[in-house]
Chain A
Amino acid sequence: ETGVTQSPTHLIKTRGQQVTLRCSSQSGHNTVSWYQQALGQGPQFIFQYYREEENGRGNFPPRFSGLQFPNYSSELNVNALELDDSALYLCASSGGGGGFSYNEQFFGPGTRLTVL
């Protein structure tokens, strides 16, 4: 069984650029969630995708957008990068349908984004 994988591992961008991060969910999982973790902080929920639809969103501006594909993999896109977007971006997958209450999330190793 393959776990959650994310690419790339590290990324350096400059302010104003756009970035796409990728996540492959664990086998059999149909839901993907994205989180932003600043250094020394807990992860902050960005959004969740279930069956290719956004199923919940945290307090992030519209320049953070996502996609989920028929194979349940997902992308996180961030436009007009700002210095404060520098963080570790985590992807988590879960099965059993959308919603967090009863479905365990399995986290990937993250993508470290640095914005200069």
Chain B
Amino acid sequence: GDSVTQMEGPVTLSEEAFLTINCTYTATGYPSLFWYVQYPGEGLQLLLKATKADDKGSNKGFEATYRKETTSFHLEKGSVQVSDSAVYFCALSDRTGNQFYFGTGTSLTVIP
């Protein structure tokens, strides 16, 4: 079945460092891909998404490109801030649009 695999955490970075969180997927057909974020004490919220191959989702300085050839949707940010400390979840919606799968989450801590 469809699934998402994301890099294990936790990840600790210094402020202004470059961030990459790897995400790969297994799916039949053409899924939609998402990154969700959970800040401390808050609920899950959508960070960005891409609905077809080669689309780039972006928000709050974060970017991810839907790569069908490598079945990947890696999350990147050029310069992280302390306020980016959170748990990040990669997710996919299958080709029917009626199933949703999350990865296990990657905890990011940014230190000043």
Contact = CB atoms under 8 A, between A and B. Distances in A.
B26 interface: no
Nearest to A37: B102
Which of B51, B93, B105 has most chain A Cβ within 10 Å? B93
B97 interface: yes
Interface residues of B, number: 22
Interface in B1-19: 1, 4
A33 B100 CA distance: 10
Interface of A: 4, 33, 35, 40-45, 48, 55-56, 58-59, 90, 92, 98-102, 104-110
Given A100-B32, A101-B32, A48 B43 contact: no
Contact of A42 (B93, B96, B102): B102
B101 interface: yes
